[in-house]
Amino acid sequence: MSEPCFVPAHILLPDPSVPLDRWACLACDQFTSQPDYWAAARAAAQDGPTALDLVLPEVYLEQPDVEARIEAIHTAMERYARQVLTRAVDGYVYLERVDSTGRVRAGIVGAVDLEQYSYSPGERPAVRPTEGTVVSRIPPRLRVRQGALLESPHVMMLIDDPQDTVLGPLGRAAAGRPPLYEGELMLGGGSIRGWAVEDPARVRAVTDALAALGSQAAFDARYPAAAGQPPLTLAVGDGNHSLATAKAWWEQLKPTLSPAEQAAHPARWCLAEVCNIHSPAIGIEPIHRVVFGADPAAFAADLAAFLREKDAWADPADPGAQRFRLTGGQTLAANDRVHPLAVGTLEAFLGSWLPAHPAATVDFIHDEEAVASLCAGGGAVGVLLPPFAKADIFRGVVLGGVLPRKTFSMGHARDKRYYLECRRILP
C-alpha cells in the first residue's frame, strides 16, 4: 500500500484560559478589499492572545509596512509557542462547525503530505488543486512562511465520500463526549467545537477509510471515463494558494536536507481540514468579480461585443445560458462556445479586456452584498456569476483538469475556516 497522503500530526492548541472568540480569526484571504473587517477583528481580539497575531490578512499584502508585519508575526510565533500553545493532540482533531445558517459542517484536521501534492498543470497526484494556481500570487505569501516557526490552517480539503466512511464514525464516537474546545467565533462566524482523535484504532480507521477512497478500484468505479488514471484522494476546496505556498517552501527547503531529513522534516506536511463534499453543510458558492476603474456601461458594452465576436451571445431567458448579472442592472448571457462554465467565459473576456485597460483591476468577492457595497460609489462594476454545482467539482478535476481560477467558494466569507489549531514547521 502506498504512503497515506493525509496523516496524524502533533497539533497545538491555546491554553484553555484563552477565550475562543478572541483567539480564532477568519482565513486571511477573505475581505481582501474591506480593511474595516480586519480592523473590527483586531478590536474583537482585544489584547489577545489571538491567532490574528500569527497570520497576515491579504488586505495588507501591498501595504508599505508589510515586511514589519511579517517580522512581528514571526516574533509572535516564538512567543506563543512558549507561552500560549500549551496543549497538544497527537493524532487528528475532529470538529463540528456551526455556520452562519445554522448548518453543522464536520471536518478533521491533520497533515497533508506535500510530496503527494502538485499544482503543476497536467500532473495527477493523490492531492490536487481544483482551480488553476496563479504562480505570481505565491511569492508574497512565501515571505510569511519562510522562517515561520508555526503554521495555522485555513486550507480545506474535500473528499468524495458518499457513504461518509471517514467523518461519520468520528461524529458518532464524539457524540456525548466533552469536547476539547468549544465556543463562539468572532464577527458572526458561528460556533465550533472539536475533539481529539488519538486512539490508535480510530487513527488507523481514518487512514484505512481514506486509503479505500483513494484506491484504484474505487476511483475506476466512480469515474469510469477516467479508469486506469492515477487516483484522486483529496481535492483543494479552499486555500489553494496557501497550500501552493507550503509546497513552494518545501521545494525550496528540500535540496538543503539529507534524504533522512527530507523524510521527517515537519515542513514536508501542511496542516489542513478535510471535509466531505457530500455533506449538506458544504455549500458551494460562486466567486464574483468586481472590476475597479471601469465604467459600468462601457464594460457591459465591451462584454457584449466580446460575446458576439466569439459567436457566444445568448438570450438570458434560455435555461441553459451562462448568465452574468452586472451591478449596473444589466444581465448578459452566453452559450458554452468559449468555455463550459460561465466563470471560464468571463475569465476569457477579462484576459483580453484588462491589458487594454491598464488602470483597471479585479478583485474576487464571495458575497453579493459585498459586491454591491464595493460598487455603490461608482467607478467599479460587479459581475455576479451563477451558481456552481458541487457535484461537478471532482468530476471536472478528474476529467478536465483544474477549473478556472476562483470558480467557487465553500460558503459565505464568514463561514470560511478560522485559524485555531497550530503546528510547528521548523524542527
The residue ranges of every structural domain in the chain are: 6-283+412-424, 288-384
Q: How far is CA 125 from CA 35, 122, 153, 312, 349, in A?
A: 37, 10, 21, 35, 31
Residue 378: how many CB atoms within 10 A of its CB? 8
Query: To which residue does cell 458561528 refer?
Result: 190
> pLDDT tens, 205-220?
999 999 999 999 999 9
pLDDT at 117: 97
Q: Is the model's pLDDT at 1 over the cut of 70?
A: no
Query: To which residue does cell 466567486 refer?
Result: 287
**Region 149-173 average pLDDT:** 97
Q: Is the peptide bond before 49 cis (omega within 30 degrees of 0)?
A: yes
Q: What is the DSSP letter of 403?
A: B
CA angle 222-226-228, nearest 5°? Answer: 100
Sign of CA dihedral 48, 53, 58, 62: positive
Which residue from 29, 39, 101, 33 is spatially nearest to 371, judged by alpha carbons?
33
pLDDT at 404: 80
Beta carbons of 380 and 290 less than 8 angstroms apart: yes
Cell of 303: 462584454
Strand positions, DSSP E, 242-294 = 269-276, 284-286, 288-292
**Region 225-248 average pLDDT:** 94
**SS3 per-residue string spanning 100-157:** CCCCEEEEEEEEEEHHHECCCCCCCCCEECCECCCHHHHHHHHHHHCCCCEECCCCEE
Q: What is the CA radius of gyration of the chain?
A: 22
Q: What is the DSSP letter of 223?
A: -
**Region 57-79 average pLDDT:** 95
Q: How far is CA 297 from CA 210, 287, 301, 303, in A?
A: 51, 22, 6, 10
Mean pLDDT computed over every residue of the chain: 94
The whole-angstrom separation of Cα 294 and Cα 298 is 8
Beta carbons of 334 and 396 less than 8 angstroms apart: no
Q: Is the model's pLDDT at 351 over the cut of 90?
A: yes
Q: pTM value?
A: 0.84
Q: Is the model's pLDDT at 314 over the cut of 90?
A: yes
Beta carbons of 238 and 154 less than 8 angstroms apart: yes
